[in-house]
Amino acid sequence: MGRLLVHIATGPENPTRAALGLLVARTALGAGHAVDVFIAGEGVGILRPATLDAGVGIGTGSMREHIDALVAGGARFFASGQSSKARGLAADQVGTVPVEFSPPDVLVRLAFEADRVLSY
Find the domain containing 96 and state its range: 3-119
**Overall number of domains in the chain:** 1
The Cα–Cα gap between 45 and 39 comes to 9
pLDDT one-digit tens code per residue, 6-36: 999 999 999 999 999 999 999 999 999 999 9
User: Residue 83: which residues within 8 A CB-CB, separation 6 or more?
Assistant: 39, 40, 41, 42, 43, 44
pLDDT one-digit tens code per residue, 45-88: 999 999 999 999 999 999 999 999 999 999 999 999 999 999 99
pLDDT one-digit tens code per residue, 83-109: 999 999 999 999 999 999 999 999 999
CATH number at residue 104: 3.40.1260.10
